[in-house]
Every structure is written in structure tokens, then in C-alpha cells.
């Protein structure tokens, strides 16, 4: 029986969460990139973000190209067992590709939103990141 006047937790301790980072990243990468449906969904969300960024650039007059055709094109080739996904959104510079590709939990979209906020630019909240 518990004495109601005596606290249940007399002494508390705070502990740091520990994880083996490399192992954790391996688990995350495998779960994302070996599950085909998750991988395709991730690619499509990246395409969607690229379109939203391009739409913003078109509206704000910052677009390099005047084309306002925003689309995602998916081509399958069963003979070669390939899927090609293309979007007409913003591209990446060589530096952005080096910084972002193969880096888990790094979001170029998140950086874009941050930069626009710093410039007091209003951007659609539909960017997934």
C-alpha cells in the first residue's frame, strides 16, 4: 500500500537520450529507400516542392524562364524496368546538389522558406520539405 503523504518519486534524474547515430541513419535510409512506395512518394513530394518554388518565382517576377507550365511527368519503361520522374519546377545548382542529395533530414525547401521569411516574402505553406 502506498502512503499518500509520501511522494511516489522521491529523487528524479535527467538522462540524455543516446543513439548510435550511424546505425540510426542506416535504419532511416533503409526504411525510406528500400520501400519502393515510400521512395516514389518522397520523389513526388520533392517534385511538388520544386513546382511551388517555381510558382513563387513566377508570381514574384524572379523566374529566369517565362514559362508558367508547371507539371510533373512520370514515364515508365517496363522493358528496362525504369521510372523517370520529371518536374518543371526549379532546379538545383551544383552546390545545392552536393549539399542536399544523399543527406537525410536536410531540406532545401526548409532553407528556401527560411530565406523567404528573412526577406519578408510570403510563400505558400504547401511546400512539404
Instruction: Give the CATH number for residue 71.
Output: 3.30.565.10
Separation of alpha carbons 126 and 56, rounded Å? 11
Higher pLDDT, 126 or 43: 43
Q: Is residue 16 part of a domain?
A: no
Number of independent structural domains in the chain: 1
Separation of alpha carbons 24 and 30, rounded Å? 10
Residue 108: per-residue pLDDT: 62
* Residue span of the structural domain in which 104 resides: 21-118
Q: Is residue 102 part of a domain?
A: yes
Question: Hey, what's the cell of 99?
Answer: 549539399
Tens digit of each residue's pLDDT (9 = 90 or more) over 72-125: 999 999 999 999 999 998 888 888 877 776 665 555 666 666 776 777 766 655
Q: Is residue 10 part of a domain?
A: no
Q: Tell me the chain's radius of gyration from C-alpha atoms.
A: 22
Q: Is residue 7 part of a domain?
A: no
Prediction pTM value: 0.57
Average pLDDT of the segment spanning 46-68: 81
Amino acid at each position: 500500500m502506498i502512503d499518500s503523504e509520501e511522494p511516489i518519486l522521491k529523487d528524479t534524474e535527467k538522462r540524455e537520450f543516446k543513439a548510435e547515430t550511424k546505425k540510426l541513419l542506416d535504419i532511416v535510409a533503409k526504411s525510406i529507400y528500400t520501400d519502393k512506395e515510400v521512395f516514389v512518394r518522397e520523389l513526388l513530394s520533392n517534385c511538388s516542392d520544386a513546382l511551388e518554388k517555381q510558382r513563387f518565382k513566377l508570381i514574384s517576377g524572379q523566374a529566369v524562364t517565362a514559362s508558367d507550365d508547371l507539371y510533373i511527368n512520370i514515364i515508365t519503361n517496363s522493358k528496362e524496368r525504369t521510372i523517370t520522374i520529371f518536374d518543371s519546377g526549379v532546379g538545383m545548382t551544383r552546390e545545392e546538389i552536393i549539399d542536399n542529395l544523399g543527406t537525410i533530414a536536410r531540406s532545401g525547401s526548409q532553407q528556401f522558406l527560411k530565406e523567404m521569411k528573412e526577406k519578408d516574402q510570403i510563400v505558400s505553406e504547401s511546400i512539404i520539405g
